[in-house]
Amino acid sequence: MKLTSVDDPVSWDTFADKFFDLEWFDYKGRPKTANAVRYFHKKVPAHVLNTLLEIPEKIIVFAPTPAKNGQVVPMRFLKNAENQNAGIVVVNAVLIYLSPELERRPQKYVNTSVAHEFAHVFLGNFRLDHPDMVATPNPREEYRDQPGEKAVHDLLVEWGFEKPHRKKKTK
Ligand SMILES: [Zn+2]
C-alpha cells in the first residue's frame, strides 16, 4: 500500500473539484479570475494544495459573472439535529445573490431584477433535477429564451414586472 504524502502532486481536476463549483464560479464570465486560480494551482508547492484539500469545511469560491444582476444558488449545510440521536442533519438552502452593480441602476430595473431571482426560487428551477435545468441550453438561443429564463419572464409578466416579449425581428 502506498502511503500518501503531503508532497504528492495534486492534479488540477482534484483541486478544482474541491473548490470550484460551476454554480459559484463562472469561468467564462470571469476569465482573469479563472486564469488566476489555475496559476495558483501551478505556482504553489504541493503541500499547500494538499493542506487546502484536507480542510473539512466546505469552501465555496464565489466568483459570479459580472453580467448577471443576480443569481440563485442551491446550498447545503450540515447542522446538529435537535434530536441528539439523529446526529447531523443536512439542510438544503438556496442563496439568492444580488450584484452590487444594481445600486447603479434605476429603481425600476432593480425591482425587476430582484423579482426575477425570486421567480427562479418560486419556480424551483434552481434544483438540478428541474426540467428546465436538465434541458441543455442552446447556445444560439438568447439567454432570455432559454427554458428557465422564459418561464421566469412569463411569471414576471403575470406579476406585472415586465412587458411581454416583442416579436423578434426576422433575419
Ligand atoms: Zn434568470
pLDDT tier at 1 (50, 70, 90 boundaries)?
low
Residue 131 gets the label, from left (phi > 0), alpha (psi -120 to 50) or beta, of: alpha
Q: How far is the CA of 60 from the centre of ligand 1 (A)?
A: 21
Q: How far is the CA of 130 from the centre of ligand 1 (A)?
A: 14
From CA 119, how far away is CA 68, in angstroms rounded?
15
Stretch 127-155: mean pLDDT: 71
pLDDT in tens, 47-74: 999 988 888 777 778 888 888 888 888 8
Q: How far is the CA of 142 from the centre of ligand 1 (A)?
A: 12
The answer, as to whether pTM is greater than 0.85, is no
Q: How far is the CA of 101 from the centre of ligand 1 (A)?
A: 16
Q: At what angle do helices 31-43 and 12-19 cross, to 10 degrees?
A: 130
From CA 91, how far away is CA 58, in angstroms rounded?
14
From CA 76, how far away is CA 78, in angstroms rounded?
7
For 9, 33, 43, 69, 87, the CA distances from 78, given in Å and listed in that order, are 30, 29, 33, 29, 10
Cell of 66: 459580472
pLDDT tier at 161 (50, 70, 90 boundaries)?
very high
pLDDT in tens, 109-133: 999 999 999 898 898 887 767 776 5
Surrounding ion ligand 1 within 5 Å at CB are 149
Q: How far is the CA of 116 from the centre of ligand 1 (A)?
A: 6
